[in-house]
Structure 1
Amino acid sequence: MHHLRDILLLLFVFGGLRDVLCAPSQVPLSVADVAEATKPRKLHGRFLHLTDVHPDPHYREGMSEKSACHRKKPKKKPRSGPFGYTYGDCDSPLLLTNYTLDHLEKKWADEVDFVIWTGDSARHDNDRKLPRTLKEIYALNRAMAKRMEEIFTSRGIPVIPSIGNNDVWPHNIMMPGPNDVTSEFSSIWKSFVPFHSYQVFQRGAYYSVEVIPDQLAVISLNTMYLFDSNSAVGGCEAKDPEDPGNLQLDWMEVQLQSFRSRGMQVWISGHVPPSARNFHSECHLRYVELSLRYQDTVLGHLFGHMNVDHFFFLDARTLESDGSMDGGSAHTSGKHKDLYATLLKDFDHLYKTEKDLDYDGIAVVNVAPSVVPSPYLPSFRIISYNITGSRYVPGLLGDSDTGSGDNHQHYLGDFMDRERLCQGSSSFNESWRCRLNSPWHSSPHSPSRTNRLFTPLGYAQYYIPNLTGTEEHPPKWKLEYLTFAPQALHPPAAADEFETQKDSFVYPIPLKRLPKKLRDANMTSTKYAPYSLQDLTIPSWTALARSLAKAGKSSKLRRRFRSYMYMGADEEL
C-alpha cells in the first residue's frame, strides 16, 4: 500500500483531483497582511538546486528493469524496490518523489532563500507498451508545481523552474512559441513566473526573477530552443533573426545589460547544459560570448539533464574551433564514462597553458546530479553564497577594495583570428563569430572572481546511498560531500575573542544538517571535504581542474572526483 500522498498524486495525475488541489481563490488582505508581506525576508545565504525528479505513476515494486519497472516480476534479483531501482534505467516511484519533497520541507524549507529547479518533472518515454501522453506530462508537472508551492512559495521563497526535454511531447521537440506548451506552463507555473514576464514567457517559456529585489536575479532559460536534439528550430543561425533560439538570446542580452546597469548579480539556469555537443553550434557560440561579455554580472551557470555530477568551462578559446575543447561535450547519447575522459582532457589543456590562462575568457558551468535514481542515486544540492561582503557595482572606475580602475575590456576578436576566419568563402563568414563585436565586461574584483557580496562559497551535496527501505523505515538522506574546507563551516578562531564576529557569522551549512564529525570546529581533514575550495569563483574551479589534470591516474583526488561523478557505480576508466 502506497502512502496516502502517493495515492492522491496518482489520482491527480489522471485527472481525479484537479479541482480539489487547485490553489484557493484570493481573499482581500488586511493592513497587517500587507505590512508583513512587504517586510524584507531574512536571508540565510543558501539556496537549493533540484533537478530531474522524473516521477513515474506507473512504477511498481518488484518489477523488472527491462519493463521500466512497470511489470514482469523477474525470477531473480535485482527487482525494483519501493523507493527505486538503483543504478538502473527506471524512473522515480511516487514514494521516492514525495519522500524527497517531504524531506526538503521538513529539513530545508526554512533554511534557504530561493530554489532553482531545472526541469524534467515527468517520466521518460522508455516503455513502448505504456507510451507517455501529453495529458500525463502536464499533470505530473502540475502536481510537482503544486507541491513546490506548498513547500516554498507559501513561505515567500522564490522558486525558479525550467522546462526539461522530457517535459514536452514528443521529448526533445518544442515548436516555436507561442504554442500549447508555453500556454500550459504559463498556467502550471503561474505562482513562479512574475506577472511582468508573462508576455515573454508565452512566446518562449523563459523569464527572470529578482530573488533579492534590486540585488540578485535568476535567469531561467528554455534550453529546448538551443538544444541540438530539437529539430523543430533552426539553431540560432545568424541569417535567421526570428529563430526562437536567437530571440531568446537577444532577450538574454537585454536582461544582462539591464541587470548590469542596475548593479545587480545574476545566476543563469536551465535544463540542458550549454556544451558544444548539447547546443546547436551557433547557439553555443552566442551563449558563450554573452556569458563572457557579462562575466562581471553572471555569478555562474546551473544546469541538470546529464544526471552526472560534474563541472566544465565556457572558454573563449573554443569559439575559434567550434568547441574542440569543451568539458560538457560528451553528448547524452554517449556513455557516461566518456564524460570523465573528456573532462580530464580539457582540464589537462588548462594545466598545460597555466601561464597564459586569462580568467577574463572563462566561465564555469555546474551540472547537478538528479533526484531520479537513473543511472545513479538520488541527490540534491544546497549552495551557499556570501551575504555579508562588500557590494561590487559593475562598470565603476573603482570600488571599495581597490579605489582604482579594475575593469578589463575584451572583445570576441581578442580570442580568435577574426581577420583570417571571416574573409572569403569561409564557413565562418556566415557565423556569429564574424558579427559579434561588443565590448566584454570583466573584473578580477567581481563576485564571480573574488569573494564578496553574492559570491558562491560552496555547496553540500546530499544523497541516498542505499535505496533499500520500507514505508515504515525509509532510507536516509545523507551528506555525500561538500566543497568547503572543514574549518570554513565554523566561525574563525579569532571570533572567540570578538563576540560580535561570532554573532555575525553566517553558517554556510547549518550544523544540525551535518554529520557529527563535521560539527567539531577543530576538524581539519575529513572524507566529506575532498577539495577544500575557498569558494566557487572561477579561479577556484580552474585550480581544482589543474590539480585533477596534474594528479596521476590512480591518485586519491582523481579517484574521489570520479567516485562522486558516478556515485560509486562500476564505471570503467
Structure 2
Amino acid sequence: MLAFTALLVLAVHLGPVLGSPVLQVALQASNQKPRGLHGRFLQITDMHPDPYYAPRSSEKTSCHRKKGKKANNQAGLYGTPYSDCDSPFKLTNLTFNFLDKKWASEVDFVIWTGDNARHDNDPKLPRTPDEIYNLNREVASRMKEVFTSRGIPVVPSLGNNDVWRPNGITNEFSQIWSTFIPFPYLQVFQRGAYYSVEVIPNEVAAISLNTMYFYDSNKAVGGCPFKNRDDPGNLQLDWLEVQLKLYRDRNMQVWITGHVPPSPGNYFPDCYTRYAELSLRFQDTVLGHLFGHMNADHFGFVEAIDLEFTPDETETDKDKKKHVTLYDELLEEYSTIPTKAKDLDFAEYAVINVAPPVVPNPYLPSFRIFSYNVSGTDGARRAPKTTGKRRHGHKRGEHGNREALCKLKKNRETWKCFLNETWYSDPGAPSRSNQQYTPLGYAQVCHARTDKVRALICRVQYYIPNRELTGANKTHRPRFKLEYLTFVPSMLHPDDQDATSEFHYPIPLQHLPRSLREPGVTKSRYAPYELVDLTIPSWVGLAQRLGDSTQRQLRRRFRKYMYMGGEEG
C-alpha cells in the first residue's frame, strides 16, 4: 500500500514529463467554466449524531437511558449543552434543514471537517464499524441532498471518531464519499484518505488532509520520522508538497483543511515541523488553514520559531502544562508576538482557524460561514499594533549555531536539520493583503427562538443559545442566532454599492440584525474585533490586542465566544 502511494507521489512529481493520467484529468477538470460566485463558503464540523440519544434520559448515561432525576439533569429534545452527550438526529436534521432553506443557494463550496459519528464511551452501547459507517452515510446523504444536488462542491475530511482502525477504512469511505472525491484523486484517497478539490476551477482549491497520520494519539503510525520516508505521515506530506507546487505553478490559491488542527500538542513533533515548514514556504499560495476537533472557537499560529530547536522540557514543565487551559495557552502565545514593526515579519506566520462544533458537547451547537473577496483588490486594511514591549511567554529557541546543533546526536536525524527550501512569501499575496479570493470574515451560528436575527452571515459566528436548546419542545423549535461578527460595521454598506443589488454586499442585508441593516453604524455589540479582513496581518493584530493584559473587555469577549458561555471541557 505504502509503496504504491510513493509511486503515485513520484508520478505526480513527474507528471508534466511523463504525461501522468492523474495530472491530465485534473487539468482537464480545471478547464470547466467557473460558476457564478457569491463570495461565501460554509465550514461545518463535529456533528456527532447519536442514534441512541433519548430525550429526558439521564446525562450520566450519555443521554441513552434512565430518566434524569432532576430537570437540569435530563437530556433535551434538541441536545444537551455543557454535557457529555452527543447530538440527537433532531439537531442534525434541524441544522441541515436550516442550511437548505437559508444558505445552500448562497455559498460556493462547503468545508466539512469530520467527526460524523458519536464519540461517547457508553460501555453498554460500544461503537462498532457498521455504526460508524452508517452514521457517516446518513450525514453524507444530507450533504448530497442539500449541497451537491445544487452543484456545490463539498470537501469532507476524516475525523478521529470516524475511524475504527487506522487501516482498512479508506476503501469504505471512498464509497461513502464517492460524490465528493474527484475521480483523479480516488486512488490516492483509497490509500491515504487525503485528496484535493478545485472548488473554483482553475482558481481556488481545497486540500483535505488525513490528520490521523499526524495525530499523536494515533499509536498505529510512526509520527513522520526522518529515517522512515515510507511512514504514512511522511508520504502524505510529500504529496502535500507536490500539490502546493503544482497549484503555485498554476497561480492558484489553496485552502488546507482537516480535522485535528496542527499544534505541538496535537501532532507528532516531526509531523508538526514538516507541516509548519510547508505552511510558511507556500504562504503566497495558501489562503488559510481550517480545522475542527477542539470543540472551541479559537485561532492560533504556525510560526517560524517552531522550526528552531528548543530546550528539552523537564517532567515538571510537562506537569505544569497539564493544568493550563487552552485559553491561557493562547493568551501566552499571543503575548509573545512582537509589537514593534521592526521586530515583526509577517512572512513568519500562518494562521490556524479552529471552528466550534454542531454537537452540543461540551458547549453549544454552531457552524460558520466565511466570506471572501470576489470583486478584486481592495487595499484598505487596519495596520497591526506596532508599539509596546515584546513579551517573552514561552521558549523562543536555543541559543547556538544551527549547524552545530544539527551535529548533536539527538538532532542530527530530525526534519529541522533538512528543511532548507526557499520560502515563497509576498506582501501582495491574498493571504497577506486584500486581493481576489482573500478571506474577509466569517459568521458563526447558534440556536435562537426569535426570528429577529437570521442565520449565518459573512464574518459572523452563529450558535444555538442554551436557553433555546433547553426550552425547545415539539411546538417551539430552536433557531440559529448570530453570535458575533469579525468585521468593521461600516464595511457592511459599501459606498459604491448599487442600492438595488445585494450580490456584492459582504452580508445580504436581510440576514443582518436590524441594528446593522442601515448605513452609518460605527460600533456594535455584534462586532467586537473590527477586522477589515482575515489576512495574516489582521489576525496578528487581533492577537497582539488579546496578548495585552490591559485589554480586559476584549479578552472576556474572546473567552465567552471560545467556550460559548461555559467552562473549558
1:458 to 425, 441, 448: 441
Q: 1:323 to 1:196 in 2, by over 3 A?
A: farther
Tell me, yes or no, if structure 1 residue 438 matches structure 2 residue 421. Answer: yes
Deviation at 1:339, TM superposition (A): 0.3
Matched-pair identity in %: 60
Tell me, yes or no, if structure 1 residue 558 matches structure 2 residue 555. Answer: yes
Task: Give the length in aligned residue pairs.
Answer: 496
2:353 to 352, 358, 366: 366
Tell me, yes or no, if structure 1 residue 521 matches structure 2 residue 509. Answer: no
The whole-number CA distance in structure 1 between the counterparts of 2:239 and 2:67 is: 51
Deviation at 1:551, TM superposition (A): 3.9
Is 1:61–1:81's contact at 8 Å kept on the other side of the alignment?
yes
Tell me, yes or no, if structure 1 residue 275 matches structure 2 residue 263. Answer: yes
Q: 1:192 to 1:550 in 2, by over 3 A?
A: same
Is 2:58–2:69's contact at 8 Å kept on the other side of the alignment?
no
Is 1:552–1:558's contact at 8 Å kept on the other side of the alignment?
no
Is 1:276–1:322's contact at 8 Å kept on the other side of the alignment?
no
Moved over 6 A (4+): none
Deviation at 1:292, TM superposition (A): 0.4
Amino acid at match of 1:109: A
Q: What secondary structure is seen at the aligned counterpart in 1 of 2:412? A: helix
The whole-number CA distance in structure 2 between the counterparts of 1:324 and 1:373 is: 38
Q: 1:362 to 1:525 in 2, by over 3 A?
A: same
The whole-number CA distance in structure 2 between the counterparts of 1:447 and 1:363 is: 13
The whole-number CA distance in structure 2 between the counterparts of 1:503 and 1:43 is: 15
2:493 counterpart residue number: 490
The whole-number CA distance in structure 2 between the counterparts of 1:45 and 1:527 is: 25
Amino acid at match of 2:219: S
1:339 counterpart residue number: 326
1:84 to 79, 83, 105: 79
1:23 counterpart residue number: none
Deviation at 1:503, TM superposition (A): 5.2
The whole-number CA distance in structure 2 between the counterparts of 1:50 and 1:39 is: 27
Deviation at 1:472, TM superposition (A): 2.6
Unmatched tracts of structure 1, length 5 or more: 1-36, 393-412
Deviation at 1:556, TM superposition (A): 1.0
Is 2:188–2:195's contact at 8 Å kept on the other side of the alignment?
yes
Q: 1:525 to 1:257 in 2, by over 3 A?
A: same
Deviation at 1:213, TM superposition (A): 0.7
Q: 1:108 to 1:503 in 2, by over 3 A?
A: closer
The whole-number CA distance in structure 1 between the counterparts of 2:50 and 2:400 is: 47
The whole-number CA distance in structure 1 between the counterparts of 2:515 and 2:66 is: 44
Tell me, yes or no, if structure 1 residue 244 matches structure 2 residue 226. Answer: no
Amino acid at match of 1:563: K
- Deviation per residue, 1:342-380 (Å, 9 max, x gap): 000011101466641211111000000000000100010
The whole-number CA distance in structure 1 between the counterparts of 2:195 and 2:304 is: 26
The whole-number CA distance in structure 1 between the counterparts of 2:542 and 2:318 is: 20
TM-score between both structures, scaled by the size of structure 2: 0.83
The whole-number CA distance in structure 1 between the counterparts of 2:241 and 2:377 is: 26
- Deviation per residue, 1:538-564 (Å, 9 max, x gap): 0000000001111427x2111101110
Amino acid at match of 1:159: V
Is 1:351–1:549's contact at 8 Å kept on the other side of the alignment?
no
The whole-number CA distance in structure 1 between the counterparts of 2:87 and 2:318 is: 25
Unmatched tracts of structure 2, length 5 or more: 1-30, 380-396, 444-460
Amino acid at match of 1:80: A
2:301 counterpart residue number: 313
Deviation at 1:319, TM superposition (A): 1.8
Deviation at 1:509, TM superposition (A): 2.0
The whole-number CA distance in structure 2 between the counterparts of 1:144 and 1:81 is: 21
Q: What secondary structure is seen at the aligned counterpart in 2 of 1:429? A: coil
Q: 1:210 to 1:64 in 2, by over 3 A?
A: same
TM-score between both structures, scaled by the size of structure 1: 0.83
1:569 counterpart residue number: 566
Deviation at 1:520, TM superposition (A): 1.7
Amino acid at match of 1:387: V
Is 1:64–1:73's contact at 8 Å kept on the other side of the alignment?
yes
Tell me, yes or no, if structure 1 residue 66 matches structure 2 residue 60. Answer: yes
Larger mean Cα displacement after TM superposition, 66-75 or 141-150: 66-75
Deviation at 1:218, TM superposition (A): 0.2
2:141 counterpart residue number: 146
Is 1:483–1:529's contact at 8 Å kept on the other side of the alignment?
yes
2:531 counterpart residue number: 533
2:185 counterpart residue number: 197
- Deviation per residue, 1:411-461 (Å, 9 max, x gap): xx9x99421320142x11110111111111000000000000010001111
Q: CA RMSD in A?
A: 2.5
1:126 to 115, 121, 125: 121
